[in-house]
């Protein structure tokens, strides 16, 4: 293993600590009773200093300023940073000054984790600090952190390299506190959604990740093998068909935050492993679903920002209901001047040729319409917009429109030029569903590797009778990008997929 000079020096310090009888990785219990953020927000000086006379804090040392027999350092815990004051005679009251002179001054490094006990005070420059009376090494860091400097409200030498940030997220989280805030907001967003659904009587359930048949979406699956059963299995591409089985079984409203896997490309808005929220509600339709989605996103925006208006890049996006609604054919016509609503497959291919849209010769009518919409219209919707009433060829799991022949009751929610949600009045006619699965098999035989399999067990479930139902899938990662103003899906995933490193080089 190749070690840098800094890494070699730290390992030498580690050995010296052991020779001094100091365990650099002691038992984990340390009686923390406060946080840096709490102290900074609540300490008022003389007014309440008695409440902060015995604080116990643990965190990572981010800088040290040595002044001989005393020193100032910056400690960072999970909430914030705070200055600490370490004086030799306070932490070493007897004749033995090893803890300060040797351990603290010469064997400590940026990144080491210490536990401290002391009292809070205000320095002559007005900075809230902790006067340390006891000091304990809790973890010796063997790898140096990239040093990020801050002065006069500005940050210097910030680590912005995506390769570093995504591969070594643990280090990214330490040196870039704003990154931690993104993931705190992500959790708050998910908790707000869960609260919204639970308050309305929805039941959270779990469904299989390993599936014998990958159903519920048009996507290329990851394939694995079940050794005990000696059969191939697939990582789920969607949990839709299992949640519908729950509706057949008698639940009125079920939901799941589903980790899905699709063996497809990676870009700014796609990761092969991602999180979708899906819910299904009996006796509702896609009109009800649009209204409920508006209510949910209003609640999420207000919970995270205190307002329905968000800044995303240089744009201001409002999640104030109601959202605009437009059919997919009207959208394409509005953006291209071409009416594709009556065209067959050959006519759609001519439109693609005219608009210079490259398409796979193996895909059918539904995928062609999707390609045309994606190339000409999707990116034009900055404000939340429901794209409605898709052709039946695009939606093999959706109920036919109650009044418009050839269409289904479906919408996709577009925000900032990307799909955030996809919803249907669900198809519950088992005969119609079987016919549509069979059409998907024909597409698969033509070479469409994203076409759906026939799920015989799901068809059997439908034959027992599924009540009229509406369902939706909301991309949690994409929604988080919007709600935290992040430009890439990798910025809202703690550990995004990357090509494996070669540690032997």
- Contact indicator for 453, 162 with CB cutoff of 8 Å: no
- Contact indicator for 104, 138 with CB cutoff of 8 Å: no
| CA–CA distance, 262 with 349 (Å, rounded to integer) | 27
| CA–CA distance, 212 with 238 (Å, rounded to integer) | 13
**Dihedral sign computed on CA atoms, order 85, 88, 89, 94:** positive
> Which residues 6+ apart lie within 8 Å of 190 measured at CB?
257, 476
> Which residues 6+ apart lie within 8 Å of 324 measured at CB?
381, 383, 384, 385, 386
| CA–CA distance, 282 with 275 (Å, rounded to integer) | 23
| CA–CA distance, 358 with 123 (Å, rounded to integer) | 66
Prior bond of 322 cis (ω within 30°): yes
H/E stretch holding 473: strand 469-475
Side-chain-side CA neighbours of residue 416 (13 Å): 22
- 3-state DSSP call for residue 330? helix
Helices 365-376 and 328-336, axial angle in degrees (round to 10): 50
First to last CA, the chain: 10
Q: Is 195 annotated as a binding residue?
A: no
Phi, psi of 121 (to 5 degrees): -145, 175
H/E stretch holding 70: strand 70-76
| CA–CA distance, 269 with 277 (Å, rounded to integer) | 16
Token pair belonging to 409: 């009751």
- Contact indicator for 489, 265 with CB cutoff of 8 Å: no
Q: Is 412 annotated as a binding residue?
A: yes
211: how many CB neighbours lie within 10 A of its CB? 21
| 461 to 147, 168, 226, 387, 441: CA distances (angstroms) | 59, 46, 25, 30, 20
* Residue position matching structure tokens 């759906």: 452
Side-chain-side CA neighbours of residue 241 (13 Å): 29
Q: Is 487 exposed, middle or buried (0-12, 13-18, 19+ CB in 10 A)?
A: exposed
Residue 283 gets which letter from DSSP? T
Annotated binding site for Mg(2+): 412, 419
Annotated binding site: 412, 419
């Amino acid at each position: 293993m190749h070690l840098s000079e800094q890494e070699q020096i730290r390992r030498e310090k580690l050995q010296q600590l052991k020779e001094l009888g100091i365990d650099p990785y002691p038992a984990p219990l340390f009686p923390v009773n406060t946080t840096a953020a709490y102290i900074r927000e609540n300490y008022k000086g003389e007014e309440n200093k008695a409440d902060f006379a015995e604080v116990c804090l643990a965190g990572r040392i981010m800088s040290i300023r040595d002044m001989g027999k005393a020193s100032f350092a910056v400690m960072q815990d999970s909430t914030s940073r705070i200055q600490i004051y370490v004086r030799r005679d306070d932490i070493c009251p007897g004749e033995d000054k090893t803890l300060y002179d040797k351990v603290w001054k010469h064997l400590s490094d940026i990144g080491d984790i210490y536990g401290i006990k002391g009292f809070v005070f205000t320095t002559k420059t007005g900075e809230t600090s902790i006067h340390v009376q006891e000091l304990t090494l809790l973890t010796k860091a063997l790898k140096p952190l990239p040093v990020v400097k801050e002065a006069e409200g500005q940050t210097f030498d910030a680590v912005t390299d995506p390769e570093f940030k995504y591969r070594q997220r643990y280090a990214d989280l330490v040196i870039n506190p704003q990154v931690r805030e993104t993931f705190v907001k992500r959790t708050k967003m998910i908790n707000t959604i869960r609260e919204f659904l639970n308050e309305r009587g929805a039941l959270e359930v779990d469904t299989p990740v390993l599936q014998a048949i990958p159903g519920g979406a048009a996507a290329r699956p990851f394939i694995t093998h079940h050794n005990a059963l000696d059969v191939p299995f697939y990582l789920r591409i969607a949990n839709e068909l299992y949640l519908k089985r729950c509706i057949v079984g008698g639940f009125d409203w079920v939901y799941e935050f589903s980790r899905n896997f699709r063996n497809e490309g990676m870009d700014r808005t796609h990761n092969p492993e991602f999180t979708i929220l899906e819910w299904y509600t009996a006796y509702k339709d896609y009109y009800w679903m649009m209204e409920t989605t508006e209510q949910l996103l209003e609640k999420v925006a207000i919970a995270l920002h205190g307002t329905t208006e968000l800044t995303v890049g240089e744009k201001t996006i409002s999640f104030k209901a109601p959202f605009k609604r437009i059919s997919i054919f009207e959208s394409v016509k509005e953006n291209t001047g071409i009416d594709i609503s009556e065209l067959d497959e050959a006519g759609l291919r001519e439109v693609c040729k005219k608009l210079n849209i490259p398409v796979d010769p193996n895909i059918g009518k539904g995928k062609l319409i999707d390609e045309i919409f994606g190339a000409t219209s999707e990116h034009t919707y900055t404000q939340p917009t429901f794209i409605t009433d898709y052709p039946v060829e695009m939606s093999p799991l959706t109920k036919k429109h109650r009044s418009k022949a050839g269409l289904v009751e479906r919408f996709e929610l577009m925000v900032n030029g990307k799909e955030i949600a996809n919803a249907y009045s669900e198809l519950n006619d088992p005969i119609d569903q079987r016919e549509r699965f069979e059409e998907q098999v024909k597409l698969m035989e033509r070479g469409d590797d994203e076409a759906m399999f026939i799920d015989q067990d799901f068809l059997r479930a439908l034959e027992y009778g599924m009540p009229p139902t509406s369902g939706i899938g909301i991309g949690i990662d994409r929604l988080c990008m919007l709600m935290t103003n992040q430009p890439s899906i990798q910025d809202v995933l703690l550990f995004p997929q990357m090509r494996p490193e070669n540690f032997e080089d």
